[in-house]
Amino acid sequence: MAVGIFDSGLGGLTVLEAVTKRLPDLPVVYFGDNAHTPYGVRDADDIYELTTAGVQCLFDQGCDLVILACNTASAAALRRMQEGWVPHDKRVLGVFVPLIEALTERKWGDNSPPREVAVKHVALFATPTTVSSRAFQRELAFRAIGVDVEAQPCAGVVDAIEMGDMILADALVRSHVESLQRRMPRPEAAILGCTHYPLVEEVFRDALGPDVAVYSQPNLVAESLADYLERRPEMVGPGAETRFLTTGDPKRVSSKATQFLRRQIDFTAADL
């Protein structure tokens, strides 16, 4: 298979859906670590161990390139994986890069010094672990100066989405937006720093108001992947069909995934 997509649960399906629309002929293996979701309340070592196990499974499935469609894994594990774990002939990419490219209007290959950008006040909504890692701010600082980032840890939102309780998810999102606005009343832009959040993107938009530009990841990641594969066609390996693997109960996960994407999704058990 050419590309693997890893997530702690079902949120990465939003990325898979966007990738499928942008690259309809690209076969993908999706890995959901549903038995251990959510990652957002785990410590960094735990996240690293779980993420490397899932990514190794995708390597074993023939994926040369894996996208961590999980902001928590990208924040807590990606750099450590890239520095000492990923084999030389494989690639593991995170989901912060496309967001920062869009926010700063700078391509990732632009290695010029950090400079001022148009947006000055940014709200970041993410899991508690992603927020505490400050990974987004660190990566942003390599490319932009003068940007004030106010981060809101959105405890409970991923759990509510995974349980299918969208009424609770709606209430939690509005509560978290209200909490952030007490500290930053007028953000110019809002980053949805979790791939589960596109499932409640309209709630974020409604709560934030029409004057806030909302940056959501799936389409940005899909476009960035298309650009990457155009530059690195050797990463497109063999394979003919998209498959879905889970560490959870395949029947239950398939049912939830089908509800989220409104099309039939069939998971099989991951062989770890």
Residues 86 and 63 in one domain: yes
Residues 240 and 198 in one domain: no
- Give pLDDT tens digits for 120-138: 999 999 999 889 989 899 8
Whether pLDDT at 239 is above 70? no
Residues 49 and 104 in one domain: no
Whether pLDDT at 178 is above 90? yes
Total domains in the chain come to 2
How much is the pLDDT for 6?
A: 97
Which residue type does 54 have?
G
User: Of 57, 63, 154, 194, which one is the catalytic site residue?
Assistant: 194
- Give pLDDT tens digits for 213-232: 999 999 999 999 998 898 88
- Give pLDDT tens digits for 22-65: 999 899 999 999 999 888 889 999 999 999 999 999 999 999 99
Which residue type does 154 have?
C
Is residue 154 annotated as part of the catalytic site, yes or no? no
How much is the pLDDT for 238?
A: 61
User: Of 57, 63, 70, 154, which one is the catalytic site residue?
Assistant: 70
Whole-structure pTM over 0.75, yes or no? yes
Domain range for 265: 3-94+218-269
Residues 15 and 59 in one domain: yes
DSSP at 194: S
Whether pLDDT at 109 is above 80? no
Residues 78 and 155 in one domain: no
How much is the pLDDT for 108?
A: 60
Residues 88 and 108 in one domain: no
148-179 as b/e, with b when 16 or more CB fall inside 10 Å? ebbbbbbbbbbbbbbeeeeeebbebbbbbbee
CA 130 to each of CA 115, 125, 152, 208, 254: distance values in angstroms, whole numbers, following the listed order: 25, 9, 10, 21, 27
Residues 86 and 17 in one domain: yes
Q: Binning pLDDT at 50, 70 and 90, where does residue 174 land?
A: very high
How much is the pLDDT for 18?
A: 95
Is residue 57 annotated as part of the catalytic site, yes or no? no
Residues 34 and 63 in one domain: yes
Residues 6+ apart with CB under 8 A from 210: none
Q: DSSP string covering 237-251, please?
A: ------EEEESS-HH
Residues 46 and 113 in one domain: no
Residues 197 and 230 in one domain: no
Residues 207 and 151 in one domain: yes
Q: What percent of the chain has a predicted confidence (pLDDT) above 90?
A: 68
| Nearest residue to 65 via CA among 5, 16, 17, 13 | 5
How much is the pLDDT for 40?
A: 81
How much is the pLDDT for 17?
A: 94
What CATH number is given to the structural domain containing 113? 3.40.50.1860
Residues 205 and 128 in one domain: yes
- Give pLDDT tens digits for 7-16: 998 989 999 9
